[in-house]
Structure 1
Amino acid sequence: MVFLVVGDANADLSSTLARFPDEGDDVAMTALGYSSGGSGANVATALAKLGARARLVTAVGRDPGADVALQAAKQAGVDLSFVETHPTQATGHCIVAISPGGERTFLSFRGANTAVTCPDFAAVFEEVVHLHVAGHALLEGEQGTTTLALMEEARRRQIPISLDVCLPLVRTRAADLLALAPRFSVLFGNTSELGALARQDHEAATAALLAAGVPLVVGKLGANGAVVAEGSARTFLPAFPADVRDTTGAGDGFVAAFLYAWRRGATLEHAGRLGNAAGAHVVSRLGAAASLPGREELLQVLSTHGGELAALQALFTDEKPSIGRET
């Protein structure tokens, strides 16, 4: 089965800071790195590293940044047949400032990402069983139009759609997001994103999304783990212990692991625990796409910290796992 992912691919310039600066300040960096990033590319890369077949719809420029943006996805075996090269727009870049506590702050230039045109539906949807939308893909430009068209085609083909929201989306297009809510089978958001949507807290946003028609909302709560909301039920899943160095990409790793497990028939609790394991692995390392775990890394996290290793190990076999719901 193929996961179709639409979203940004960026070249990330990550800087670890001695302290986070005030405006006009002058602060030393303690580390500097250049690597693949962008939520779309990250999720597709993570899915491929877990053993899924992933296909990415995005765009890059004709510049050196394009190779950086796609390097991790290419190495993981993501299908890049539908990645466009824009003749004039530069590849998306993101400056990632990492505070001493590991929290990341983004300064983003979206570039060619916004110019994605609509691909050949017959080809791009071949063998696809799930469409995942990274939130930036709904923001603007041709990419926004393309993403809506892909969502409509997925609906016509009765293919489930997931969305991972982002702060710019919930801040500028909250009403549009709620109007689109019934189209999603599952929606992901972190504490800041969900809080910005409801202008209260993540629980208020979760309730609003469920009322708007999303059947399943998954809150990524960082050090507090995750919460899976379905109807009136709430399942809280504690985080795995981790030495936090860089939170960049942790949410993308969570989303990929959750979707991989869920689409293979795992229970929501098992999917959430695997997502938490992925997040713990990512935050303990520097960088985004390069830190995304494969099968062995996730199994190591589960083995080290206990919790359902035998059951979750079935997700990484070629057989359909017998640990969860029927699909």
Structure 2
Amino acid sequence: MTTQPRIALIGECMIELQHRADGSLHQSFGGDTLNTAVYLRRELGEVGSVDYVTALGDDSFSDAMCQQWHEEGVGLGMVQRLPGRLPGLYCIQTDANGERKFLYWRNEAAVRDCFTTPAAEPILAALPDYDVVYFSGITLAVLGAVGRGRLLQTLVQTRRRGGRVVFDNNYRPRLWADAAAAREAYSKVLAEVDIALLTEDDERALFGYQDSEQVFAAYQSIAEVVLKRGADACLIRCAGERFAVSALKVEKVVDTTAAGDSFSAAYLAGRLKGESPQEAAMAGHRLASRVIQVSGALIPR
């Protein structure tokens, strides 16, 4: 891997509304791969470049998103702006234990046409030249069947040219017609993944795996598998070795939004900078432990 890796993250950023205890709403922006892109850019420091691949509208919210990403150092060259379209929107309601409930308005979101417009052609052609292409289960859901097919072609070409593919399984049942459709979509892309960043609960919900051993057995062909388990130790299999890296204890959890996204960002940044899987996982736990002590997906720099 080059010392200045070029990384592309594919997915959706949405307008985020946080429902506060007094009934007011705080507006910001968030989305799983976008959260990872921002935290990855912060964690990498001066190393490499981070570009976000998505489609937005030509509205003021989309303008503000692009401005925020630019200020974070995330590249905008792979962002499409579709006239007359809007981004998706979601609201976070958080209970006394910091656990979240999400309400979504995203059926007409511009990102659903991210890989089907004429403007997508040069973007799809450029993606295989990146050193790392990163996407998630939510990316798969929002792209739709045609977009998923084009993504799969891109992943194959990326690996053929020597790039690496990173996948975060983020499974959201409400985004799929049924679990069978999701399983089919996941199974197709998992064959082209080099690093799998998996949440154990999502693996259980989607594929019915009962424990970590079943998960690792299912992904023998993937070179590096990281199993995120919330407050429990994460489990890693890499180069034939297995590791367990304990999470950090947090006294008060405020909001678990982006805990997994931030872990993935710090883990990937560590690996790209030459750290061992254990060192990268510790960095992931450190960042996630900070993120869950603040409301919202993106904590202040």
Check if 1:288 corresponds to 2:294.
Answer: no
Q: CA RMSD in A?
A: 2.5
1:218-241 deviation line (CA, Å, top 9, x unaligned): 121111142213477432211112
Check if 1:201 corresponds to 2:210.
Answer: yes
Contact 1:9-1:41 within 8 A present in 2 as well: yes
Contact 2:127-2:154 within 8 A present in 1 as well: no
Check if 1:278 corresponds to 2:287.
Answer: yes
1:186-223 deviation line (CA, Å, top 9, x unaligned): 11122321211331435155234323x22222121111
Alignment of 1:7-46 (within 5 A): 7-16=11-20, 29=23, 32-46=25-39
Report the counterpart of residue 132 of structure 2 in structure 1. Answer: 130
Change in Cα spacing, 1:232 to 1:198, as seen in structure 2 (3 Å) is farther
Report the counterpart of residue 112 of structure 2 in structure 1. Answer: 114
The one-letter amino acid of 2:139's match is: A
How far apart are 1:126 and its partner, in Å?
Answer: 8.7
How far apart are 1:122 and its partner, in Å?
Answer: 8.6
Change in Cα spacing, 1:281 to 1:130, as seen in structure 2 (3 Å) is same
Check if 1:149 corresponds to 2:153.
Answer: yes
Please state whether the residue corresponding to 1:244 is helix, strand or coil. coil
Provide the TM-score with structure 1 as the length reference: 0.77
Provide the TM-score with structure 2 as the length reference: 0.83
Alignment of 1:154-303 (within 5 A): 154-168=158-172, 171=179, 172-211=181-220, 213-230=221-238, 233-242=241-250, 243-289=252-298, 291=299
How far apart are 1:47 and its partner, in Å?
Answer: 1.4
How far apart are 1:275 and its partner, in Å?
Answer: 0.6
Please state whether the residue corresponding to 2:96 is helix, strand or coil. coil
Name the CA distance, whole Å, in 2 between partners of 1:245 and 1:190: 20
Change in Cα spacing, 1:278 to 1:157, as seen in structure 2 (3 Å) is same
Name the CA distance, whole Å, in 1 between partners of 2:219 and 2:67: 37
Please state whether the residue corresponding to 1:5 is helix, strand or coil. strand
Name the CA distance, whole Å, in 1 between partners of 2:239 and 2:276: 16
Change in Cα spacing, 1:193 to 1:205, as seen in structure 2 (3 Å) is farther
Please state whether the residue corresponding to 1:269 is helix, strand or coil. helix
- Identity over the aligned pairs, expressed in percent? 24
Q: Runs of 5+ in structure 1 lacking a partner? A: 18-27, 295-327
> Mean Cα displacement is larger for which, 179-188 or 73-82?
179-188
How far apart are 1:116 and its partner, in Å?
Answer: 0.5
Q: How many residues align?
A: 280
> Mean Cα displacement is larger for which, 162-171 or 271-280?
162-171
Change in Cα spacing, 1:4 to 1:153, as seen in structure 2 (3 Å) is same
Contact 1:56-1:82 within 8 A present in 2 as well: yes
Contact 1:209-1:217 within 8 A present in 2 as well: no
Change in Cα spacing, 1:208 to 1:73, as seen in structure 2 (3 Å) is farther
Please state whether the residue corresponding to 2:256 is helix, strand or coil. coil
The one-letter amino acid of 2:37's match is: A
The one-letter amino acid of 1:153's match is: Q
Please state whether the residue corresponding to 2:131 is helix, strand or coil. strand
